Amino acid sequence: MPTVPTLPGVRPTVDPFDVRDPARAARPAIGHRGGAITYGALAERIERRVGAFDAAGLPDRSIVVLTGDNGVEWVVSYLALLARRDVPVLAADHV
C-alpha cells in the first residue's frame, strides 16, 4: 500500500486516496447534507476536475484564487488543484 511522503523522523501514513483497495474506496470520505461521498467517488471527481482544468488551458503549477461556498465542489476543486501541483489561494467569500 503506498504511503504519503513524510519528513525524516515522522512515521509514514497510509494514503487515504489510494482507492485501488475496494474496501478503502467504499469508505465515506466527505459527509454533506445529501449523504456522503466515498473515497472512490471523490477520487473520480478530482480526476475529472483535473481534466477540466487541463482542458481549460490552466498552465501547470499555477497560482489560483479559489473562492466559493463551503461544500463538496469547493473541496473537489481544492484537491484537484493540489493534485496538479498548483497553488490554491483561498479567498473569503463572506467578508
The dihedral through the CA atoms of 1, 5, 71, 85 has a sign that is negative
pTM of the model: 0.75
**Rounded distance between C-alpha atoms, residue 41 and residue 35, angstroms:** 13
Strand partners, 82: none
List pLDDT tens digits, range 2-47.
Answer: 545 555 666 555 565 677 788 888 989 888 888 899 989 999 999 9
Q: In degrees rounded to 5, what are phi and psi of residue 68?
A: 145, 175
Q: What is the pLDDT of residue 7?
A: 59
How far is residue 80's CA from residue 60's CA, in Å, rounded to a whole number? 12
Phi, psi angles (nearest 5°) of residue 58:
-65, 120
SS3 12: coil
